[in-house]
Amino acid sequence: MSFKFADLFAGIGGFHAALTKHGGKSVFVSEIDQSARNVYARNWLQGDEASISGDITKLTSGNVGVATHNVLTGGFPCQPFSKSGSQRGVAEARGTLFYDILRIVETKKPELILLENVRNLIGPKHIADYKVMIRLIRELGYVVSDEPTILSPHEIPEHLGGSPQHRQRVFIGAVRMNTKNASRFDDISPLLPRNPFSEFGPIDWNLAQFLEEHASKSSISLPGQELSVDQKRSLKVWNEFVKLNLINNGEKLPGLPLWTEYWKPRNQIRLAKDMPDWKKNFIERNSEFYLQNRKWIDPWIEEANLEDLIPSYRKFEWQAQGYRDIYKCLIQFRPSGIRVKAPNYVPTFVAMAQTPILGWEKRALSVSEAKALQGFSKSFKFGDQRDNLSFKQIGNAVHVGVASTVFQALLKRARQLEQPWAVKLKIENAQLEQLPVPKP
């Protein structure tokens, strides 16, 4: 038995990939960005499937121009409410994109709602807005937890769709009941506990092995992936530093960022009065580290010609735990300096402005590898568009495996609540018994 879903703020189709895997059929798609729409259509819209609508606000101002569906999904942009707490129902969200979601829910009454957003949605800046969102969904007759479901791909076993990327995202999952019944579950638990598979022990990701198995080799070593001359030189210089530290100290590098501009005696460093305490602490610790090791650091500085490197390449942060060789690690060239991490999982893809460097390959991550880390299959195509645009779209997408896991958790919750539609639905590729969904 298939189900129908509407995909809002669809991007390149992370939710589409997840839900079609479980037998879902797309009946409505909305995405305002034309390049993302092109990629979505190329990969997902075949035959009689839904076409892609643009600006969702034009479809919700009067009669809602959205097909009837069972499941509503959306990786919605977060906009603050100007009238939070005014208790005016759906109209309270007017002027925000969340209002358009609520208008569709109010009119089409989907059985399940699954929304995704960045971790900051429940941070200090947006927490009040988040609470209003939950209340407004609940007022429409849906069971939804006050506590969000927070999940990252690297927390999910590979056989359930996980991948080696640290990417915490907030999910709001709601089950349609009715206003009277929904109010009985105001204190319901989140769909999944934090780090839901931790009882089986930490997942030991091997990034190189994962990419070998899931990325297309045809895209490796394309123009744009090679390191610049300055990047190569800076890595060589800092790798020598790592080795010298091991020889002279016999221990791992300090965990703080190393700022070479402050490698001098403390009395030669002037600190501004309004400088934050955390920065003062880092500077003082850098001076202390230098003074303790200047016997071998000074010759290294002279040999390395650090002044020839751009300022950000003169800063270095070691987060690679027990590793002792840059070229066996994951590297980021950041405005704040060169960061080296253990080769287990990559940091969050945002817009890929700081594409990770695979030290063992001495090159940047490819588009094929990035899409694999975001849960998309080898057959997913971006066409002939620029790589930087593809990286941006990958960074904005919902992770396919995470979306699949949370959708199944939402369905399992609906069955726990004995929602008739969910009880009858038989989904494909189900792994519900492996999901630790808390009891209501």
* Separation CA 145–CA 361 (nearest Å): 45
Residue 353, C-beta contacts closer than 8 angstroms, at least 6 positions apart = none
What pLDDT was estimated at residue 84?
A: 45
> What is the percentage of the chain residues whose pLDDT exceeds 90?
68
What is the pLDDT, as a whole number, of residue 352? 55
| pLDDT for the residue 222 | 59
Report CA 134 to chain centroid distance, whole Å: 22
Give the C-alpha distances (Å, rounded to integers) separating 382 from 31, 167, 245.
Answer: 16, 22, 44
Q: At what angle do helices 14-21 and 34-44 cross, to 10 degrees?
A: 20
Please return the burial class of 42, using the count of CB atoms within 10 Å of its CB with bins 0-12, 13-18 and 19+.
middle
CA 332 – CA 361 distance, rounded (Å)? 14
> Per 3-state DSSP, what percentage of the chain is helix, strand, and coil (rounded to 5)?
45, 15, 40
- Region 240-267: mean pLDDT is 90
Instruction: Supply the pLDDT for residue 51.
Output: 80
Q: What type of residue is 118? A: V
The catalytic residue among 41, 78, 160, 389 is: 78
Least confident of 105-114, 215-224, 373-382: 215-224
Residue 221 has pLDDT above 90, yes or no: no
Q: In this structure, how many other beta carbons lie within 10 angstroms of the beta carbon of residue 254?
A: 15
Q: Return the higher-pLDDT residue of 166 and 435.
A: 166
Q: Average pLDDT, stretch 231-252? A: 92
The answer to which of 47-51, 123-127, 294-298, 385-389 has the lowest mean pLDDT is: 47-51
Q: What is the predicted pLDDT for the residue at 63?
A: 85
Q: What is the pLDDT of residue 152?
A: 97
Tens digit of each residue's pLDDT (9 = 90 or more) over 401-435: 999 999 999 999 999 999 999 999 999 888 888 88
Condensed to tens digits (0 to 9), the pLDDT of residues 54-105 reads 888 888 887 888 999 999 999 988 776 554 455 555 665 666 888 889 999 9
Beta carbons of 262 and 286 less than 8 angstroms apart: yes
Q: Where are the domains of the chain?
A: 3-205+397-434, 221-365
CATH superfamily of the domain spanning 3-205+397-434: Vaccinia Virus protein VP39 (3.40.50.150)
Closest CA to 197 of 250, 252, 160: 160
Rounded to a whole number of angstroms, the distance between the first and last alpha carbons of the chain is 26
Q: Is-catalytic flag, 78?
A: yes
Mapping DSSP onto H, E and C, the string for 328-390 reads: HCEEEEECCEEEEECCCCECCCCCCCCCCEECCCCEECCHHHHHHHCCCCCCCCCCCCCHHHH
Per-residue burial over 99-115, b if 16 or more Cβ lie within 10 Å, else e, is bbbbbbbbebebbbbbb
What is the amino acid identity at position 50? A
pTM for the structure as a whole: 0.90
Stronger pLDDT, 352 or 209, i.e. the higher one: 209
Half-sphere exposure for 261 (CA within 13 Å, toward CB): 12
Res. 378 pLDDT band, cuts 50 70 90: very high
Quick check: helix, strand or coil at residue 154?
helix
